[in-house]
């Protein structure tokens, strides 16, 4: 059974959440829009930026706006996988083991400075991100829905960091950067936070049933054949580019397709246009490629390569 598409309803829903988050987060409208794209597609977000630009507050503001349970994990080198997933503890009263859930049993999970933990601990998030379950001592527990991981990481050249393995990077639906605020935005931050932090007054503007319905609605947004072919051509070009050692997997193709549907809905359309794909390509694809070592030595970045492909891969509108 097809879900009735009402793009104006999706747009109004998204605008309401964006305006609510904007009561706390000054600027960053593009980042907030990308958060909603990931939410609608049931994906996860990797935020790569320096400390202090509002990554944690952005996650808290989203959780408060959605009325979802929020948990935060501060990743450190001595963090254990059980600190994330939970542990079975022997109860002397019942003479049996009982499961004590970890912070992953939430709906909006902030994995703060995820690349400061060891690879073994980082990988403990893989099952939760992909399967929406956690397994402890042979028992599998489902995670609540919606479930969204927002992982933050400092730039990899910082000391004491462990680069995320390719398999885990590929699990992140989008990678975004926040960047420093403009001069005017920084003045506005000072005014807003002078007496009380606005996060304390933030209330929910939607509910979980509406979120699930919106997630179904965007799946029905129309993608014309030429746009689908453009997505495929763009991804396949990453597997042939001279600067790329490992191109984007089919998971990335599907992610770009779904993200384009969500962005079209957020912007009030029931069809995808090529500009939707172009807007999202760097955020969806760049972290999924591995550059050749000689390209990295020349200072080429993954974002540069995807930007180059956007300029060279054409779309055939006659299809």
Rg (CA), the chain: 20
pLDDT digits (tens, 9 = 90+) for 224-237: 999 999 999 999 99
What pLDDT is recorded for position 168? Answer: 79
Q: What is the mean pLDDT of the chain?
A: 87
What pLDDT is recorded for position 199? Answer: 84
Would you list the DSSP string of the chain? -PPPP-HHHHHHHHHHHHHHHTTTS-S-HHHHHHHHHHHHTT--EEEE--TTSSHHHHHHHHHHHHT--EEEEE--TT--THHHHEEEEEETTTTEEEEEE-TTSSSEEEEETGGGS-HHHHGGGHHHHHHSEEEETTEEEEPPSS-EEEEEE--TTSTT--PPPHHHHTT-SEEE---PPPHHHHHHHHHHTTTS-GGGG----S-HHHHHHHHHHGGG-B--HHHHHHHHHHHHHHTT-TTEEE---HHHHHHHHHHHHHHHHHTT-SB--HHHHHHHHHHHHGGG-EE-HHHHHTT--HHHHHHHHHHH----TT-
pLDDT digits (tens, 9 = 90+) for 26-74: 888 899 999 999 999 999 999 987 777 778 888 889 999 998 889 998 8
Q: pLDDT tens, position by position, for the chain (319 residues)?
A: 445 667 788 999 999 999 999 888 888 889 999 999 999 999 999 998 777 777 888 888 999 999 888 999 888 888 888 888 888 787 777 777 777 888 888 899 998 888 888 877 877 788 788 888 888 877 888 888 889 999 988 765 555 567 777 777 888 999 998 888 888 888 888 888 777 788 888 889 999 899 999 999 999 999 999 999 999 999 999 999 998 888 999 999 999 999 999 999 999 999 999 999 999 999 999 999 988 889 888 888 899 999 999 999 888 765 5
pTM of the predicted protein model? 0.88
Tokens of 264: 């079209």
């Amino acid at each position: 059974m097809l879900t009735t598409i009402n793009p104006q309803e999706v747009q109004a829903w998204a605008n309401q959440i964006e305006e609510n988050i904007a009561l706390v987060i000054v600027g960053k409208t593009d980042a907030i829009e990308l958060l909603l794209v990931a939410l609608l597609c049931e994906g996860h977000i990797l935020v790569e930026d320096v400390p202090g630009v509002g990554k944690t507050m952005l996650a808290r503001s989203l959780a408060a706006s959605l009325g979802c349970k929020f948990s935060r994990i501060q990743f450190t080198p001595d963090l254990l996988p059980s600190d994330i997933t939970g542990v079975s503890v022997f109860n002397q009263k019942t003479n049996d083991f009982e499961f004590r859930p970890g912070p992953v049993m939430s709906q909006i999970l902030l994995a703060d400075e995820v690349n400061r933990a060891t690879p073994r601990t980082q990988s403990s998030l893989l099952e939760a991100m992909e399967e929406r379950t956690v397994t402890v001592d042979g028992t599998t527990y489902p995670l609540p829905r919606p479930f969204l991981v927002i992982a933050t990481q400092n730039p990899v050249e910082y000391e004491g960091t462990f680069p995320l393995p390719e398999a885990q990077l590929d699990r992140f639906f989008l990678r975004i950067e926040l960047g420093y605020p403009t001069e005017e935005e920084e003045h506005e931050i000072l005014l807003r936070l002078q007496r009380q932090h606005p996060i304390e007054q933030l209330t929910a503007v939607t509910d979980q049933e509406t979120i699930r319905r919106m997630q179904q609605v965007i799946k029905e947004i129309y993608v014309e054949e030429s746009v689908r072919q453009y997505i495929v051509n763009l991804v396949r070009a990453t597997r042939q580019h001279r600067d790329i050692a490992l191109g984007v997997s089919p998971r990335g193709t599907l992610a770009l397709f779904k993200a384009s549907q969500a962005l079209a809905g957020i912007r009030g359309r029931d069809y995808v246009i090529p500009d939707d794909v172009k807007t999202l390509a760097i955020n969806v694809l760049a972290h999924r490629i591995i550059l050749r070592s000689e390209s990295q030595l020349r200072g080429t970045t993954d974002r540069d390569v995807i930007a180059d492909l956007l300029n060279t891969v054409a779309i055939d509108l006659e299809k």
